Amino acid sequence: MAELEVAKHGKNVIHLMTKKEHTVSHKLREIALEIAIIVFAVSMSIWLHGVSEHYHQQQAVRSFLVGLRTDLKEDIGSLTAIQAGYRGFDENFAYLSSLEAGKEPDWKKFNDAWMLMDANWYFIPNKSRFDGFMMGGKLNNIEDPDILNGILNLYQSQLPQIRTSEGGWATRQEKLRAFRDETLDGDTAREHYALLTSPKGKRFLGMMRASPQLYERYQQYIEQSRQIIKAIDKAYPEKESAKH
């Protein structure tokens, strides 16, 4: 519509310039009016386009944040389970490191604990939605600075910290595995027991307790996620979001 108005009034300007029956001053007034109409039409078109673009941007932000809320709730559930898993690992390694050479253990309990030594569990967040939104250059369309800063802090600061702490634990587990594989000749329960109750074995087992820092970082991620969810709930209540 705006293009049609501009074309129409542009033709009027050309027509007025070629009219001979009007005075110059009259022509100038008419031309000024037509130009004013053209400027108004162009400005209105630009404004309406901006409003439409902003509306669609905010609809995309709504869709992203509502989906992110679901992702974060799932991540909180995963981290709660992982924390419990590491506490189980800690108990298992504490039991193994308490064993003493030359003493008879509960062999079933020992064999179960031996098998659990290879277990590990690392946090894999639901991050593809965030990655896609970020790579699309849309993060700055989030107008709430608290939500935006919270999301950036979660994925660009807290998640790498978790990776670092998990990496430390994984490195220690690999050293224990390497010691086991390089030292064992046979594969009997008694040989396993002798390996782990040796001074070197007990030293490796003693290093396997998950650091308090790992638990702290898991909990910080959970708390940050809850804060983001709370902010999203305020901006887009779940009942309201279900209507869109």
For residues 137 and 72, state if they share a domain.
Answer: yes
In a domain, 120, yes or no: yes
Q: Is the pLDDT of residue 124 over 60?
A: yes
Q: What amino acid occupies position 24?
A: V
Place 16 in a pLDDT band, splitting at 50, 70 and 90: very low
Q: Is the pLDDT of residue 203 over 80?
A: yes
What mean pLDDT comes out for the span 186-201? Answer: 96
What mean pLDDT comes out for the span 37-41? Answer: 63
- Give me the torsion for CA of 28, 33, 35, 41, rounded to 10°: 180
In a domain, 16, yes or no: yes
Place 221 in a pLDDT band, splitting at 50, 70 and 90: very high
CA distance 57 to 83: 38
In a domain, 54, yes or no: no
Is residue 86 a contact partner of residue 225, using CB atoms and an 8 Å limit? Answer: no
Q: At what angle do helices 212-235 and 145-153 cross, to 10 degrees?
A: 150
Question: Residue with structure tokens 């593809």?
Answer: 128
For residues 143 and 230, state if they share a domain.
Answer: yes
Kindly calculate the radius of gyration of the chain based on its CA atoms and give it in whole angstroms: 34
What's the pLDDT score for residue 78?
A: 98
For residues 25 and 133, state if they share a domain.
Answer: no
Place 15 in a pLDDT band, splitting at 50, 70 and 90: low
Helix, strand and coil content of the chain, in percent to the nearest 5, comes to: 80, 0, 20
Query: 57: which 2 tokens?
Result: 């941007």
- Structural domains in the chain (count): 2
In a domain, 39, yes or no: yes
Least confident of 2-11, 223-232, 233-242: 2-11
For residues 226 and 151, state if they share a domain.
Answer: yes
In a domain, 52, yes or no: no
What's the pLDDT score for residue 57?
A: 83
For residues 232 and 111, state if they share a domain.
Answer: yes
Question: Residue with structure tokens 């107008």?
Answer: 143
| Residue 192: CATH number of its domain | 1.20.120
CA distance 35 to 17: 13
Place 98 in a pLDDT band, splitting at 50, 70 and 90: very high
Least confident of 57-66, 174-183, 201-210: 57-66
For residues 29 and 93, state if they share a domain.
Answer: no
For residues 144 and 78, state if they share a domain.
Answer: yes
Q: Is the pLDDT of residue 148 over 60?
A: yes
What's the pLDDT score for residue 31?
A: 59
Residues of the domain holding 23 = 2-47
CA distance 242 to 52: 23
> Exposed (0-12), middle (13-18) or buried (19+): which is 139, by Cβ within 10 Å?
middle
Least confident of 26-30, 72-76, 157-161: 26-30
Place 56 in a pLDDT band, splitting at 50, 70 and 90: confident
Q: Is the pLDDT of residue 184 over 50?
A: yes
What's the pLDDT score for residue 55?
A: 75
Query: What is the rounded average pLDDT for all residues in the chain?
Result: 86
For residues 19 and 127, state if they share a domain.
Answer: no
In a domain, 181, yes or no: yes
What mean pLDDT comes out for the span 221-234? Answer: 97
For residues 41 and 67, state if they share a domain.
Answer: no
Q: Is the pLDDT of residue 48 over 70?
A: no
41 or 211, which is more confident? 211
CA distance 34 to 36: 5
Buried b (16+ CB within 10 A) or exposed e, 199-226: eebbebbeebbbeeebeebbebbbebbe
